[in-house]
Structure 1
Amino acid sequence: MDYFNLFFLLCFSWKHFISNAHSSDSNQQPIPTEKLLVLTVATEETDGYLRFMQSANYFNYTIKVLGMGEEWRGGDVGRSIGGGQKVRLLKEAMEALTDQEDLVVLSVDSYDLIFAGGPEEILRKFQEANHKVLFAADGLIWPDKRLQEKYPSVRSGKRFLNSGGIIGYAPYVNKIVAQWNLHENDDDQLFYTKIYLDSFQRENLNIGLDHKSQIFQNLNGAIDEVLLKFGTKSARVRNTVYDTLPVVIHGNANTKMYLNYLGNYIPNAWNYERGCGVCDHNMVDLSQLKEYPTVMVGVFIEQPTPFLSQFFQRLVTLDYPKDKLNVFVHNNEVYHERHIQRFWEESKDVFNSFKVVGPEENLSQGQARNMGMGLCRKDPGCDFYLSMDTDVMLTNRQTLKLLIEQNRKIIGPLVTRHGKLWSNFWGALSLDGYYARSEDYIDIVQSKRVGVWNIPYMAHIYLIKGEVLRNQLKERNHFVLEKLDPDMALCRHARELTNHREKDSPNPETFHMLRVPKGMFMYITNRHEFGRLISTANFNTSHYNSDLWQIFENPVDWKEKYIHPNYTRIFTENYLEEPCPDVFWFPVFTERACDELVEEMEHYGSWSGGNHEDKRITGGYETVPTDDIHMKQIGYDKEWLHFIREFISPVTLKVFSGYYTKGYAVMNFVVKYTPGRQAYLRPHHDSSTFTINVALNSKGTDFQGGGCRFHRYNCSVDSPRKGWSFMHPGRLTHLHEGLPTTNGTRYIAVSFIDP
């Protein structure tokens, strides 16, 4: 150390002694908040920086940003040593502040840091610490573990210095940073550590560490120490080990995902009393725009998916100008070619453009998704890219508008699987980068906490701004990353650092110096009910209309597609008829259900012919045979019995008061009446407690004649309605016959229930 520095330190030692004498005065005056200046380094406005500024503005901090617009040459501080550029910028800024002895400077990172308290609190805690300079403390030593033994021992608290937070009087901070004479990519924390470990400088500059996280909370190695504390105005982080409320929360090292979680609440983002405090910030009012933004919709069919026709119908009925929608469809399944063809024929002229890439192109998922995203990226007129997997059933026609209005770079609507906690996002990641359940995951999925949430991973459906694709995500292979599925690869590319080589820096040795932080945030919103995810895991495509078999796996979508829209009115409005005594008539199937069941039977094709000899039944002889196919023959018996229990049994309880059906039937079949094979059925009793008879097609359109006559009451019903069912007692009282079909083909579905 040269004599000039020695003299300077001796002078500081004397001032330090005088200052300590004053600081011990119990009547010490609080430092005015206008005497606090926050200095932070940020070379570009990332999402993390904007979050930092939002928290700072909430508490009215005075902020000076250093290095904005500079090229970052401080190394990859998230993965290795570096950060010297921050010290150089701080050194330059402090040169103009060194004579302001009563000015307190707070130097903090910005990309991975938020404020949880205001200037008054931080100044009070700084005064109580009784140091001229106070560094954040850490339980982990970095970057040189060999220096561990040189650290002063502490009775309680964290022992090691962290350079992400520094607070001190301007002259003292200046004296520290004035010693910097290293390179931009040398390590800033090592530089500060060596000064702190120099006992002469530590004592004469009165440098201390915030051992118990009174001011600075570094999350690395300390996540288990902290929890959220909710107040009426804002949320706070509480350190449960030291019982402190830190003011500056720093997501250092690999804890940035956890900081994102905390940032969903701190300082004023969400609490129980007010709900979401920031959801309406910076929203776009579509009604004020001259025209709606243009959206490229990427639709991906990467595995056999039930209810595909319903998916496309929902796409067509989105409440958004169709001339502003360009549709790209990637279909990887031959099974769905007929569904795509039908949609193409019906809707090719609905949208502004329509492009289909089929299984013959043999694209991987990653390649297909890169292609869809690329169509928006290369089109300057593409304002947004909406990616949708076909297992997403949007029930909210306003979904696209609602997502655009939130004005986020990447955002998705919350969709969940019916009756389960399975959704399209993860609330946290494990250390190996895979699923971990966040503390708030269940509350968000169940809408007990409603807002817009910064999350680490989403899939199935999300909206990305076109300008983001042409800037931050301009590389073209975001969906391909070793050992990760395509959506996980995209999310990792978006949230982590991205290599970027400048044109004027071809030297590979400087490649790491040009690594700049992107750190884009991804959001999920549950401010509205958007829809649901369907299960594709057990979808068997061996049937002609395989959706019929989804009654167990996707009961909500099955009901929506196949159960008559007026079915619930049976119970709310007594919407049923009694055309004959104890013969009840009510709606149960949609026309689509009727058509698909008939198609399935005709595709199977082995009609019995209406013969008495029938090997399908016990004894091999049918007294009153029909030309039919049994549900068992097409593998639909379990599904049909479940339909009876779910949708027929409740009607039974309503019309036959006091009778509780078992919902069991041995004989479940579809009958085919034609003049040339079997036109009618002679009078008979059914081997059942009660029978249902569902009309599967329309009189007057598909056939002539038909109907049913009940002999005991001399009552006939000769105008069956498609999708409606008769329900009547089977034994003794209701002898009946099938009236002749005179033209065309009539189909009915019959079950003898509780035989």
Structure 2
Amino acid sequence: MKVVRKQRSGLLIFTTANGTSDGYNRFLRSANQTGIEVIPLPAAAGAAGQEVKRLRAALERRAVDPRRLSLVLGAVASDVIVAGSAAEIVAAFRKQKGRVVFSGNVHCRPDASLADQYPKSESYRFLDVAAFIGHGPDLVSMLSDDDLETSDGGQLAFTRLFLDKAKRQKYGLGIDRKADIMQGLTGSYEDVVVRYRGRQPFLQNTRFSSVPLVVHGDAQSRQHLNTLGNYLAGGWEPRDGCVACWGGQLELGSEPETFPRVLLALFIDQPTPFLEEFFGAIRELIYPKAKIDLFLYSGAKYHHGAVEQLAEKVHGAYGSVTVVGREQGVSSRAARSQAMDVVTPMLAQIYTTRGNFMTELGVDMSAAPPAEYKAIVTSKRKGLWNVPFVSECYLVKRSVFSDDATRPDFEDGSENVHNTFSKTIVDSGKFLLVSNRANFGHLVDPRGFNTSRLHNEMWQVTTNRWDWEHRYLHQNYSRNLDPSVPVAEPCADVFWAPILTERFCQELIETMENHGQWSGGTNTDPRLAGGYENVPTRDIHMSQIDYDREWHMVLRYYVQPIQQRVFAGYDEDPPVADLNFVVRYKPEEQPALVPHHDASTYTINIALNTPGKDYEGGGCRFLRQDCSVTDSRRGWLLMHPGRLTHQHEGLPTTSGTRYIMVSFVDP
């Protein structure tokens, strides 16, 4: 295959300092896209004038052609992105008035007292030595100035040169006041946004309606530069997404024995709901287990048994299995030090915008998450994103933890280990990348997880709804919402539909029996307003086990969609149910229920166990329809009108114990 190389453009870029490797590689990629030649300068000796002399010498050697422009970066190259082509930069320079043009700044640095000596302007009126551009001979002429030669070559020296009117005119010095070429971010990052011409990203200065072609930052504005770098210079585009993501990938091949060995470290710091499912997903990871060293930190007593059970199940299958915990006197921070270029799989809590990363620090994410964050966390934009903070899950090269400059000190006294990790990596100059190119999983929210109940995850429908659904919502529930699948109707206007799993039914029975405070089955009932029950049953109200709020979510999100389908036109939202209770039928206690109407617009009756297996007899008979439902299905609901048309009775349970869950909806 013939290799076609890009022709070198009429533009040179001289760098005075490379900076960090990740940022410098980004800079090189941005420059090389249009064939711009980058010339890194050797380090200066440090004496006065050496910085200027080494730059002048390099220009005399490499920029002798008066037709060729040279862009000099006083900023470290890792804080620079070339956003435009060489041709665009050359064209924009030709429109400038000066022969040597400096980047503009909103601040007069490093001496604010010199501000009044600058020409008046409503634009970026102050010189910034972070970037300047001109033809080689003009730059050499400026750098040959006697005062500049004996200076340190810093911001103040060039400022004084510019403020000397005679020298400003002699060397043709100007400032890119509207960022037509160079855009500094410090103090003006709010002036710029990324926009697209078709598929091509460009930087727009909204203050001056200009299109900056080179953007530079510093330590103060690096976070914003990194955000822009997610899109510029081939970072991301609307059709193909993350263009830069395909570089530097490790192809694993098809021979498992050649796969890299990885350390999989799991830290169970606090009681966490649905850990059972998480451990199941870990065991199903598609990667040679012999190539995985599994490290388990058990810091929550509530989960010790589950952690030990996992270790026993996988022992011998993995390369190694190590379990440590507080019992051995090992803190979570110390364990992290034992366990460990950074990529974080993007994880979000489903039905929310809570993710394991931030695109901006110091922002109230719950009140108004930034638009870029929302686009990433919802996967509307997919790619590799340079961010200032990650949490919960990291993919880290071992070399990061063997290097003192990048190894986080998890015992530094800070309150949050994720802050420690993120700050250490970012401060070292490495990129902290989050990937949403694939679905890596999701977050659960452990905050406020109450472990005092018999089956604690039952209450998580309000906090971790997606996980609750996958454990407790019937596997065929979605068929209820499919208009091509009829809802079963065993009696006229009595509908039958799957809603809850057998596990939920069993855990609800066990919870009620553990609570134990069944009503007496008489007309006297102090739980009700007025203290009188017209048609009494042996029951426990959901409110008695503190489950009313959770059950109302079940009614709204899972019962109401069925109701709206079978009783079209009734759209009370949210549904309200004052009475939600589990009824227990026993031959020796209360075997049946007399004919009655319900105090509801409609009623649901969910079978919690199975006839012929857990009990004999039972069922529900609708008198006016002369129709009975006796072959109840565990986890299925019966839905029927409560008043007037559907008088019904509970048929006798002849042996065993029958449990049903009843709600009177919209009384």
TM-score (norm 1): 0.74
Q: Conserved in 2, the CA contact under 8 Å of 1:332 and 1:359?
A: yes
Which residue number corresponds to residue 514 of structure 2?
A: 603
Which residue number corresponds to residue 570 of structure 1?
A: 480
Query: Could you tell me how far apart the structure 2 residues matched to 1:126 and 1:735 are?
Result: 87
Query: Could you tell me how far apart the structure 2 residues matched to 1:90 and 1:748 are?
Result: 85
Which residue number corresponds to residue 495 of structure 1?
A: 426
Query: Could you tell me how far apart the structure 2 residues matched to 1:680 and 1:442 are?
Result: 55
Distance 1:128 1:751, change over 3 A: closer
Specify the SS of the correspondent of 1:568.
helix
Considering only aligned residues, what root-mean-square deviation do their CA atoms show, in Å?
4.1
Which residue number corresponds to residue 371 of structure 1?
A: 335
1:639 pairs with one of 542, 550, 555: 550
Which residue number corresponds to residue 381 of structure 2?
A: 449
Gapped runs of 5+ residues in structure 2?
1-6
1:475 aligns with 2:407: yes
Which residue number corresponds to residue 93 of structure 1?
A: 58
Specify the SS of the correspondent of 1:236.
strand
Query: Could you tell me how far apart the structure 2 residues matched to 1:687 and 1:240 are?
Result: 65
Which residue number corresponds to residue 372 of structure 2?
A: 440
1:742 aligns with 2:655: yes
Which residue number corresponds to residue 296 of structure 1?
A: 263
Which residue number corresponds to residue 282 of structure 2?
A: 315
Which residue number corresponds to residue 692 of structure 1?
A: 604
> How far is 1:734 from its partner?
4.9
Correspondences of 1:78-157 after superposition (within 5 Å): 87=52, 89-91=54-56, 93-94=58-59, 96-97=61-62, 104-108=69-73, 109-129=76-96, 131-148=98-115, 151-155=117-121, 157=123
> How far is 1:49 from its partner?
0.4
Which residue number corresponds to residue 584 of structure 2?
A: 672
Specify the SS of the correspondent of 2:78.
coil
Which residue number corresponds to residue 725 of structure 1?
A: 637
Specify the SS of the correspondent of 1:429.
coil
Query: Could you tell me how far apart the structure 2 residues matched to 1:437 and 1:687 are?
Result: 46
> How far is 1:355 from its partner?
3.9
> How far is 1:58 from its partner?
0.8
1:282 aligns with 2:248: yes
Q: Conserved in 2, the CA contact under 8 Å of 1:83 and 1:188?
A: no
Query: Could you tell me how far apart the structure 2 residues matched to 1:34 and 1:205 are?
Result: 25
> How far is 1:550 from its partner?
2.9
Gapped runs of 5+ residues in structure 1?
1-31, 75-81, 377-408, 497-517
Correspondences of 1:220-235 after superposition (within 5 Å): 220-235=186-201
Q: Which amino acid aligns with 1:565?
A: Q
Specify the SS of the correspondent of 2:127.
strand
1:554 pairs with one of 464, 485, 499: 464
1:189 pairs with one of 155, 158, 173: 155
- Alignment deviations for residues 471-493 of structure 1 (CA, whole Å, 9 cap, x no partner): 375434057465x6322232222
Which residue number corresponds to residue 3 of structure 2?
A: none
Distance 1:40 1:289, change over 3 A: farther
Q: Which amino acid aligns with 1:368?
A: S
Query: Could you tell me how far apart the structure 2 residues matched to 1:98 and 1:727 are?
Result: 84
Which residue number corresponds to residue 618 of structure 2?
A: 707
1:414 pairs with one of 317, 322, 346: 346
> How far is 1:165 from its partner?
1.5
- Alignment deviations for residues 384-415 of structure 1 (CA, whole Å, 9 cap, x no partner): xxxxxxxxxxxxxxxxxxxxxxxxx3233434
> How far is 1:448 from its partner?
4.0
Specify the SS of the correspondent of 1:268.
coil
Query: Could you tell me how far apart the structure 1 residues matched to 2:292 and 2:48 are?
Result: 45
> How far is 1:40 from its partner?
1.5
Q: Conserved in 1, the CA contact under 8 Å of 2:52 and 2:149?
A: no
> How far is 1:601 from its partner?
1.4
Q: Which amino acid aligns with 1:563?
A: L
Query: Could you tell me how far apart the structure 2 residues matched to 1:140 and 1:710 are?
Result: 83
Q: Conserved in 1, the CA contact under 8 Å of 2:351 and 2:466?
A: no
Q: Conserved in 2, the CA contact under 8 Å of 1:576 and 1:587?
A: no
Q: Conserved in 1, the CA contact under 8 Å of 2:20 and 2:430?
A: no
Query: Could you tell me how far apart the structure 1 residues matched to 2:196 and 2:641 are?
Result: 62
Which residue number corresponds to residue 246 of structure 1?
A: 212
Q: Conserved in 2, the CA contact under 8 Å of 1:227 and 1:237?
A: yes
Q: Conserved in 1, the CA contact under 8 Å of 2:106 and 2:124?
A: yes
Q: Conserved in 2, the CA contact under 8 Å of 1:584 and 1:727?
A: yes
Q: Conserved in 1, the CA contact under 8 Å of 2:107 and 2:126?
A: yes
Q: Conserved in 2, the CA contact under 8 Å of 1:87 and 1:188?
A: no
Query: Could you tell me how far apart the structure 2 residues matched to 1:325 and 1:266 are?
Result: 37
Query: Could you tell me how far apart the structure 1 residues matched to 2:368 and 2:642 are?
Result: 56
- Alignment deviations for residues 316-347 of structure 1 (CA, whole Å, 9 cap, x no partner): 33444444444434444444445545555655
Q: Which amino acid aligns with 1:748?
A: I
**Which has the higher mean CA deviation after the structures are superposed, 255-264 or 638-647?**
638-647
Distance 1:696 1:96, change over 3 A: same
> How far is 1:36 from its partner?
3.3
- Alignment deviations for residues 564-599 of structure 1 (CA, whole Å, 9 cap, x no partner): 011121232536544556554321111221122122
Q: Conserved in 1, the CA contact under 8 Å of 2:19 and 2:78?
A: no
TM-score (norm 2): 0.83
> How far is 1:608 from its partner?
3.6
Specify the SS of the correspondent of 2:77.
coil
Distance 1:609 1:87, change over 3 A: farther
Distance 1:594 1:129, change over 3 A: same
Q: Which amino acid aligns with 1:285?
A: E
Which residue number corresponds to residue 392 of structure 2?
A: 460
1:587 aligns with 2:498: yes
Query: Could you tell me how far apart the structure 2 residues matched to 1:640 and 1:99 are?
Result: 79
- Alignment deviations for residues 671-722 of structure 1 (CA, whole Å, 9 cap, x no partner): 33456x5372255435345543323234565x34243263857766554332
**Which has the higher mean CA deviation after the structures are superposed, 98-107 or 135-144?**
98-107
Query: Could you tell me how far apart the structure 1 residues matched to 2:366 and 2:420 are?
Result: 12
Query: Could you tell me how far apart the structure 1 residues matched to 2:630 and 2:119 are?
Result: 96
> How far is 1:536 from its partner?
4.1
Which residue number corresponds to residue 40 of structure 1?
A: 15
Q: Conserved in 2, the CA contact under 8 Å of 1:679 and 1:741?
A: no
Q: Conserved in 1, the CA contact under 8 Å of 2:460 and 2:468?
A: yes
1:265 aligns with 2:231: yes
